[in-house]
Amino acid sequence: MAYDPIRINNVSSSFHVASKRCMEQRRLPSGKLEMPLVPAVVCQAFAVELGLKAILESEGNSCRGHKLKELYDSLSIEAKKSISDVAGCSEEFMELNMEKISNIFVEWRYIYESDEAGLDLEFFNNLANAVHHVANKRVE
């Protein structure tokens, strides 16, 4: 079933903004800094997922699932190149790191079930910003 890529991208953009707001550090009355990292990562993962789906739908490809690598692999060569260019990394680096974060939406929603969680936050932020940018350009 095909979905409207503009509607998908609008929701993606909302989660992108939500993730940015969650990443803002706020000083508590105690003087400690607060930044809800887990909600930030989950919102950002969902924003990336929906952004990739918006691009795919704009290319005429329907898609389902949360795995970012599978969604990314389904993109056209041109879309992948645009994302890696905007993210400022090689396509090889992108492929390797997409594999590492493929299931991040599920893993970070249930982070309490894991003894450890690793994330290259710089790459993930660059990816999210790149997907957001490319989706906005392609889905207009």
Locate the domains of the chain by residue range: 5-139
The CATH code for residues 5-139 is: 1.20.120
Kindly write down the DSSP assignment for every residue of the chain, as one continuous string. ----HHHHHHHHHHHHHHHHHHTS-EE-TTS-EE--HHHHHHHHHHHHHHHHHHHHHHTT-----S-HHHHHHTS-HHHHHHHHHHHTS-HHHHHHHHHHHTTHHHHHHTGGG-S-----HHHHHHHHHHHHHHHHHHH-
pLDDT in tens, the chain (140 residues): 689 999 999 999 999 999 999 999 999 999 999 999 999 999 999 999 999 999 999 999 988 889 999 999 999 999 999 999 999 999 999 999 999 999 999 999 999 998 877 899 999 999 999 999 999 999 87
Predicted TM-score (pTM) of this structure? 0.94
